[in-house]
Homo-oligomer: A and B are copies of this chain.
């Protein structure tokens, strides 16, 4: 019989109802994070490295960006083997803040 080992989840994700508008806007108010969200909106799922705004970004900075995006209810990070996979919580975010992400992404410079 396999032993049951309780463990804390690796990442925590807020309920969208608990995310205030100013926190969501703060998460989006950064060129790098906005680029990451745009990339995640285009792809279905991205590893942390693939979601990174550039190759030279320090790992701690990338971690912090991902943490802020998670806290704003924008992304979900799950562990898949040795990789961390990120997905956009698009449907949930759109339900909480209708039209907001679409307006932000539409106004992002190409």
A residues with CB within 8 A of B: 20-23, 25-26, 28-31, 34, 97-100, 102-104, 106-109
Contacts and interface: CB of A to CB of B under 8 A. Distances in A.
A29 B34 contact: no
Contact of A100 (B20, B30, B104, B109): B104
Contact of A22 (B22, B29, B99, B103): B29
Count chain B CB atoms within 10 A of each CB in A31, A97, A104, A109 and give the residue with the most.
Answer: A104
Contacts of A21: 34, 104, 107-109
Contacts of A102: 99, 103
12 contacts: A21-B107, A22-B30, A22-B34, A26-B29, A97-B103, A97-B107, A98-B106, A99-B106, A100-B103, A100-B104, A103-B103, A103-B104
